């Protein structure tokens, strides 16, 4: 049998990201053949990925990549925030976002076969990360914008990602709007985008809240009062109606129109939204993150 040197173990570890003992074992089982050992570790990683596939992944990161009028956001989930902050996981997320942008993948299923700069596919890199970090890792969602407009991709703290597409204006305005959306989370873009059912329901609620004295006022006055209340509510739930976070004296609509621009649309991803999280204490989280 070929000698399993520390240098050989080190080379395999750098190549695969697997633990030292796993590398030594793989080299021993493959008679010191580093290529065969690397392949064995990859297969082992896939097996581990299958075993961990049912674990809840409610933590993770949103990563962004952009180039001119093209941009993507990708949500990659882990089981714990401990792993979400790991340097290799952060690097994986950035690499996946870059692959999503360059490949033109339209959805997560297509993204799985896209290749990273390393030559691995996204799915292969995901399986290897599971083997290294000991947690279920999932590429959950992606959104993209492709065109010739001003597009901003903004990520806040790795947890909230926003894409904004702007006709006219400039890159600074697009980024400012993305920051606003990250902070204020408007459900809709403009008043025309608010569902009629929502407006009707709010009118019903506001009318029910009014005193009998107000309800007895002439119809045109009553309608004016209700309309004022509904306009305020609509402003609160639309990007255009909200006070701009970078200039609270102006609405977003006023800022956008002053720049001769128009917001064509936006998308916002928050890590783990809609996933029921499993509550664990910090020590348990660390112990799980240390498992391979």
**CB-neighbour burial class of residue 185 (10 A; exposed 0-12, middle 13-18, buried 19+):** middle
Q: Is residue 138 part of a domain?
A: yes
Whole-number pLDDT of residue 220 = 84
Sequence-distant (≥ 6) Cβ neighbours of residue 137 within 8 angstroms? 57, 60, 76, 77, 78, 83, 89, 92, 126, 129, 130
3-state secondary structure of 98: helix
Domain final position from 34, 52, 70:
52
Q: What CATH number should be reported for the domain holding residue 133? A: 3.30.479.20
45 shares its domain with 65: no
Q: What confidence score (pLDDT) does residue 274 get? A: 83
pLDDT single digits (tens) 180-237: 999 999 999 999 999 999 999 988 888 887 777 777 788 788 888 888 899 999 999 9
Whether residue 40 sits in one domain with residue 67: no
83 Ramachandran zone, left/alpha/beta (phi>0; psi -120 to 50): alpha
48 and 116: one domain? no
The CATH number linked to 39 is 1.10.8.10
Whole-number pLDDT of residue 195: 94
**Residue 95 and residue 46 share a domain:** no
55's CB contacts (< 8 A; 6+ apart) are 79, 135, 136
Give the range of the structural domain holding residue 46, as residue numbers without chain letter.
Answer: 6-52
pLDDT band at residue 13, thresholds of 50, 70 and 90?
confident
Is residue 94 domain-resident? yes
The predicted-structure confidence for 76-87, as pLDDT tens digits, reads as follows: 999 889 999 999
Q: Which of 17-31, 238-252, 257-271 has the lowest mean pLDDT?
A: 17-31
pTM of the model: 0.74
The answer as to whether 218 is a domain residue is no
Q: Are residues 85 and 135 in the same domain?
A: yes
Within a domain: 104: yes
Sheet holding 70-78: strands in order across? 59-67, 70-78, 138-145
122 shares a domain with 68: yes
* Residue 146 and residue 281 share a domain: yes
Closest C-alpha among 30, 31, 54 to residue 42: 30
- Contact yes or no for 196/161 (Cβ under 8 A): no
Number of residues written out for the chain: 292
In-domain check, residue 220 = no
Please indicate, yes or no, whether residues 131 and 75 belong to a single structural domain of this protein: yes
Sequential DSSP letters for 150-170: EEEEEEETTTEEEEEEEESS-
Number of domains in the chain: 2
Residues 67 and 103 in one domain: yes
Do 78 and 148 fall within a single domain?
yes
**Digit-coded pLDDT (tens) for 95-132:** 999 999 999 999 999 999 999 999 999 999 999 998 88
Residue for token digits 């809609």?
274
**Residue in this structure with the two tokens 């400012």, named with its chain if needed:** 176
Same domain, 96 and 131: yes
Please indicate, yes or no, if residue 213 is contained in any of the structural domains: no
Co-location of 48 and 67 in the same domain: no
């Amino acid at each position: 049998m070929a000698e399993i040197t520390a240098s050989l173990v080190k080379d395999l570890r750098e190549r695969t990201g697997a633990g030292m003992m796993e590398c030594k074992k793989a080299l021993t089982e493959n008679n010191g053949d580093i290529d065969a050992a690397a392949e064995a570790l990859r297969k082992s990683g896939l097996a581990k990925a299958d075993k961990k596939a049912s674990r809840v992944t409610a933590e993770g990161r949103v990563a962004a990549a952009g180039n001119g009028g093209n941009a993507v956001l990708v949500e990659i989930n882990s089981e714990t925030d401990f792993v979400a902050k790991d340097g290799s996981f952060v690097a994986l997320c950035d690499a996946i976002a870059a692959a999503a942008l360059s490949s033109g993948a339209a959805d997560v299923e297509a993204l799985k076969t896209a290749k990273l700069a390393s030559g691995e596919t996204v799915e292969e890199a995901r399986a290897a990360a599971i083997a290294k970090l000991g947690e279920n890792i999932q590429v959950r969602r992606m959104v993209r914008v492709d065109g010739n407009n001003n597009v901003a991709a903004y990520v806040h703290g790795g947890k909230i990602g926003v894409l904004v597409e702007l006709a006219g204006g400039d890159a600074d305005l697009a980024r400012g709007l993305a920051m606003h959306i990250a902070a204020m989370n408007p459900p809709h873009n403009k008043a025309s985008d608010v569902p009629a059912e929502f407006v009707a329901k709010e009118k019903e609620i506001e009318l029910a809240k009014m005193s009998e004295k107000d309800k007895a006022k002439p119809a045109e006055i009553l309608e004016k009062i209700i309309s004022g209340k509904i306009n305020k509510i609509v402003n609160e739930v639309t990007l255009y109606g909200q006070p701009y976070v970078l200039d609270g004296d102006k609405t977003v609509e006023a800022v956008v129109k002053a720049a001769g621009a128009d917001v064509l649309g936006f998308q916002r991803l928050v890590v783990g939204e809609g996933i029921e999280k499993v509550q664990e204490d910090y020590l348990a989280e660390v112990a799980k993150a240390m498992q391979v």
